[in-house]
Structure 1
């Protein structure tokens, strides 16, 4: 397979990993063990920023790379993988946003509230770029008559 296919596959995997990390940290903030408060102080903002830097930022870069590499000829498989990554991100962040009401009040900070909304917004352009790859037709070579 070519480089653009591998980067699209990696971007889908990183989008899914980021959604899984965010859902797991939101579940952790819902059910905090009672002995955790005395042993370790947990701050959600640095952990979420870490998840962003190892998950969704590289995924977005890889999706953009696969788009740039295949924009001249268009590719339905690559476009569908980019769209799938955007859908995974949109659904996962929408689910995280529904969990905000159930979080422990001490963990509700700006980063926890803004992150799902921000990446729901990021998922829409990702899906648009995938749709653009669907619409691009391969250029036919010009016939030489003489």
Structure 2
């Protein structure tokens, strides 16, 4: 029983550490936010392993790779203003994937700090917040 309590305590500490580390990414936020950082590059989500999800943005096209790069969802990006843009799904490799061609998501960049971008994404009246790390600049 003592070992079970120790394991539960360690798991709780690790969960708390992950939440705190995401908050600590934005210690020196850019003022104003550098929203143009999303316009081109390779991005990872800080909460998802690299073999599960990677995004590449180039020439107003966003391609999200998942399933260790075997599958993708391709979308057109249309900027509404400097820090807001619409993403319209234009292609996907797996018909079972839940998004449909033509569906639109609205993304808003909330904050940037170096190569980190905090944003919200609104899809089907549901709003999600997440953090991207820009890991490569594309030319």
Which structure is richer in relative contact order (CA contacts within 8 A, separation 6 or more)? Answer: 1
Please say whether Structure 1 and Structure 2 have the same fold, judged by a TM-score greater than 0.5: no
Structure with a larger share of its residues in strand: 2
Structure with a larger share of its residues in helix: 1
Alignment TM-score, normalising by the size of structure 1? 0.26
